[in-house]
Amino acid sequence: MFQQVSSERIVERTRPAVQAWSRLRPGSSEPGGITLLKDTLRSTVCRIEGVGPGGSGIVAKRCRRADGEFEAFIYSEVLERLSMESVRCYGFIDEGSGEHGWLFLEDCGTTQIADKRENFPIAFANWLALLHGWASNLPIRARLPERGPAWYLETLRATRLGLCQSLPERNWGDLDRSALERTLVCFEVLERNWHVVEERCESLPWTLVHCDLQPKNVLIRHTDSGIAFLPLDWEDAGWGAPATDLARIDAVSYWSTARRTWASLELRQVEEQVCCGALFQILSAVGWETIRLAAGSEGKAMRRLRIYAPRLTASAQALGLEV
């Protein structure tokens, strides 16, 4: 849902996008309209109508320069080399001062793959298996950050430190304190048994992973050959175990397609990585809420952390750990 903001705010936040596009593509048409889609501390996203190729719309995303340049690399030099439809990237241009700039993409609409609480459809599991299989053979490893179990272990440790600092600083209610303590106990068990996660993540070849596959980050487009899946927001992507992307993915469908590339792959191995993926996803979610908690948004953060605590426990238990 689009944010309800004043027209003055829209002009203030979107004018730099139009100016940046004019520098990237001199001589472009005047915008037919502008819609502010997102405006947070991390990024600003807007749709600019009528300035793209053939009078099409584009989407402009203001983000950190490092994130924008990396996403442009993923779209233009990785995804375009694969035999599947992807979002077209028009380029990235910095603002000329500071550490931010604008990433420009084709406008792919707003049709998301699923509701936020739904699992991904079977067809997407097949598509993801093809992406992982093909990308595993590309010579891109040296240009991607590592996104294996070690990265998530560091997320766990940083999150635990943040929660430990928050516990004595506030007068928590019983439910909040119980959720935080339950989360910390689970972290201790996970770190002590992290070798289980590492072993399971070695069962499939490493490849390009998105690291934030949620329904809100995957659009769909109907084409003559069927439905095209269009993941967005690749700033956290890297080189890692497929597990990173397998939370809420149908294991059987993924396995049946992935065997075309990895002939010796067993269903059990995929199922184990799906469990690791669910753990990685909840670790990331708890990490974000810990940052929100430290920033002063206590009410919203604690509501979510109370929900996440039993999910974290369940993810650890799914790996065979006693919590």
What secondary structure, in 3-state letters, does 30-44 show?
CCCEEEEEEECCCCE
Same domain membership, residue 95 and residue 159:
no
What is each CA distance from 179 to 13, 175, 224, 278, in whole angstroms?
38, 6, 49, 19
Looking at residue 6, what is its pLDDT? Answer: 56
Looking at residue 39, what is its pLDDT? Answer: 82
* pTM of the predicted structure, to 2 decimals: 0.91
**Spatial separation of the C-alpha atoms in residues 271 and 267, rounded to whole Å:** 6
Same domain membership, residue 143 and residue 282:
yes
**Spatial separation of the C-alpha atoms in residues 153 and 188, rounded to whole Å:** 11
The verdict on residue 117 lying in a domain is no
For the chain, 323 residues long, give each residue's pLDDT as a single digit of tens: 344 555 666 677 788 999 999 999 998 889 999 988 988 767 899 999 999 999 999 999 999 999 999 999 999 999 999 988 999 999 999 987 779 999 999 999 988 988 877 788 999 999 999 999 999 999 999 999 999 999 999 999 999 999 998 887 777 888 998 999 999 999 999 999 999 999 999 999 999 999 999 999 999 998 888 889 999 999 999 999 999 999 999 999 999 999 999 999 999 999 999 999 999 999 999 999 999 888 888 889 999 999 999 999 999 999 999 98
Query: Could you tell me which residues come within 8 angstroms of residue 30 by beta carbon, excluding any fewer than 6 positions away?
Result: 50, 51
The verdict on residue 170 lying in a domain is yes
Same domain membership, residue 258 and residue 160:
yes
Looking at residue 1, what is its pLDDT? Answer: 37
**Spatial separation of the C-alpha atoms in residues 286 and 292, rounded to whole Å:** 10
The verdict on residue 287 lying in a domain is yes
Same domain membership, residue 209 and residue 93:
no
Domain end point (choices 106, 133, 159): 106
Q: How many residues does the chain have?
A: 323
Same domain membership, residue 182 and residue 78:
no
The verdict on residue 114 lying in a domain is no
Reference 234, options 140, 310, 168, 99; nearest CA is 140
CATH number at residue 181: 3.90.1200.10
Same domain membership, residue 279 and residue 131:
yes
Same domain membership, residue 195 and residue 314:
yes
Looking at residue 5, what is its pLDDT? Answer: 53
Kindly report the CA angle at 48 between 44 and 53, in degrees rounded to 5?
130
Q: Give me the number of domains the chain comprises.
A: 2
Query: What range defines the domain where residue 26 resides?
Result: 7-106
Q: Is 88 helix (H, G, I), strand (E, B) or coil?
A: coil
A 10 A CB-CB count for 124 gives 24
Domain end point (choices 106, 132, 153): 106
